[in-house]
Amino acid sequence: MREILIPADRLSARVLELGHQITETYRGTTPLLVSILKGGVVFLTDLMRSISIPHHIDFLQLSSYDGGTKSTGTVRLLSDLATDIGGRDVLIVEDIVDTGLTLQYLRKQLEIRQPKSLRVCALLNKVEARQVDVHIDFVGFDIPSQFVVGYGLDYDEKYRNLPYIGVLDMK
Ligand code: IMP
Ligand code: MG
């Protein structure tokens, strides 16, 4: 039904490297890591344990998929942050950037609140699926335009618990 695209050991090795990069980028500050529910949660909890400087975490929930595998193109804010991000160093932690529409929407929403800095860390990047140009500061893996699940990512709420990234066989 599915094949493994990125095994668990490659995921953890790369998350460790990203954590080191983020540690160096933000040394001397206390960044706020903003995780996007629900898919980004598994990545965030591993990533934060590979960051060795003090930082805060917060969550918001967006939706552009209604249980399917294609973006609907309309992004909705389902639940907002608890933190005032004005003057903060904010790092958006995303599981995957596909069309880029979600990230474009989120950047706009957060920029209005005037953070001191706003960067993006995405575990997975579907380069060829991009519809809008969005900058990603820290990328885990560039992947082909296939629908992937596992390590937080779901298909219709299933497969989030897989310890690896797998490709869903849509046939
Ligand atoms: P975008 O707005 O098209 O960039 O989509 C971003 C969001 O769609 C991600 O945060 C995921 O929640 C979801 N998504 C995109 N591609 C996949 C995939 O291959 N598997 C699971 N979820 C995905
Ligand atoms: Mg997501």
Q: Is residue 153 part of a domain?
A: no
Q: Which atom of ligand 1 is nearest to the CA of 102?
A: 2
- Render the burial of 69-102: b for 16+ CB within 10 Å, e for the rest: eebeeebeeeeebebebeebbbbbbbbbbbbbbb
**Domain-located, residue 163:** no
| 87 dihedral zone (left: phi>0; alpha: psi -120 to 50; beta) | left
28: left (phi over 0), alpha (psi -120 to 50) or beta: left
Question: What's the domain range around 86?
Answer: 8-146
According to DSSP, the residues that pair with 13 across neighbouring strands are: none
| 59 strand-pairing partners | 35
Tell me the CATH number at 38: 3.40.50.2020
Per-residue pLDDT reduced to its tens digit, 18-63: 999 999 999 999 999 999 999 999 999 999 999 999 999 999 999 7
Low-confidence ranges of the chain (pLDDT < 50): none
In a domain, residue 81? The reply is: yes
The residues lining ligand 1, judged by C-beta closer than 6 Å to any ligand atom, are 36, 39, 64-65, 71, 94-103, 147-149, 153
The per-residue pLDDT for 71 is 64
Report yes or no on 26 lying in a domain: yes
Atom of ligand 1 nearest to the CA of 36: 10
- Can you tell me the distance from the alpha carbon of 20 to that of 51, in angstroms, rounded to the nearest whole number? 6
Which of 42, 60, 65 to mutate to test ligand 1, by most ligand atoms within 8 A of the CB atom?
A: 65
> Ligand 2 mean position to 62 CA, how many Å?
7
In a domain, 170, yes or no: no
The residue assigned the tokens 């920029």 is: 111
Residue 168 parent element (H or E): strand 165-168
- Domain-embedded: residue 155: no
Choosing from 102, 139, 147 the residue with most ligand 1 atoms within 8 A of its CB, the one to mutate for a pocket test is 102
Which pLDDT value is given to residue 69? Answer: 64
- Number of structural domains the chain divides into: 1
Nearest ligand to the C-alpha of residue 69? Answer: 1
**Catalytic positions, please?**
98
pLDDT value for 146: 94
* DSSP-assigned beta bridge partners for residue 3: 167
Report yes or no on 96 lying in a domain: yes
The predicted pLDDT at position 169 comes to 83
In terms of Cα–Cα distance, which of 30, 129, 158, 47 is closest to 89?
Answer: 30
Whether 127 is covered by a domain: the verdict is yes
Q: Is this prediction's pTM over 0.75? A: yes
Q: What pLDDT is recorded for position 63?
A: 79
